[in-house]
Amino acid sequence: MRFSALLITLAFGCATASAAGVKIERMLPEYMPASSFARVSEFFDGKENTRGATVLRTQSSSRDGFYFNLRTRCESAIDVAWVELQIITPAAPEVRTESFAVSLPKGSHLIRFGVTGKDWPGPKARPVAWKLRLIGADGAELASEQSYLWAKPDAPIAAKTN
């Protein structure tokens, strides 16, 4: 009886640890031209060399775009998770949502999530606001990061009077 209780406790403890054990170490949003992804090895074998990073693109045939370079750290590997990006671009005021399934290995890992090709207005454009979330297979949020402008203030700022 005690042994089965111990197993149940350990099972729930591991599930909680994997959900709570995901951390965003660093987030670097930036425009990246296709040349940023060119490697000599690709010239010979025709395959994109990601140097161990996970590269996700809204338009798989285009590498030019605005990328969210996300460095994660996981206490244990997660086989199925989702990267969800909510973004307001200069081209449209509506929130656009993109999501992709990923696997998160144990330890540190780089994910490059790109809004690419016709989905991005151009090299000089910057997002108006964005929020990126890592979501577990059960729908629970594992970690998130957002731009300053994503959260709107509760009350408008009163105009200064002189």
Q: What is the mean pLDDT of residues 63-75?
A: 94
Q: How far apart are CA 70 and CA 39, in angstroms?
A: 21
Q: CA quadruple 37, 90, 119, 129: dihedral positive or negative? A: positive
How many of the other CB atoms lie within 10 Å of CB of 140? 11
Backbone angles phi, psi at 66, to 5 degrees: -95, 120
Is the pTM here over 0.85, yes or no?
Answer: no
Regarding predicted confidence, which is higher, 56 or 6?
56
- Checking if the pLDDT of 12 tops 70, the result is no
**Nearest by Cα to 109 from 79, 146, 145, 74:** 74
pLDDT for the residue numbered 35? 76
pLDDT tens digit sequence for 91-119: 888 999 999 999 999 999 999 999 999 99
Both tokens of 87, joined, read 């973004």
pLDDT for the residue numbered 153? 60
- Checking if the pLDDT of 25 tops 70, the result is yes
How many of the other CB atoms lie within 10 Å of CB of 111? 21
Q: What is the mean pLDDT of residues 72-95?
A: 93
Helices (H), the chain: 2-20, 40-45
- Checking if the pLDDT of 19 tops 60, the result is no
Could you tell me the residue ranges of all domains in the chain?
20-150
pLDDT for the residue numbered 125? 94
Average pLDDT taken over every residue of the chain: 80
Is the domain 20-150 a CATH 2.60.120.1440 member? no
Pairing assessment for the beta strands 78-89 and 54-57 based on DSSP bridges: unpaired
Regarding predicted confidence, which is higher, 27 or 49?
27
pLDDT for the residue numbered 14? 33
Spell 79-102 as b/e; 16+ CB within 10 A means b: eebebbbbbbbeeeeeebebeeeb
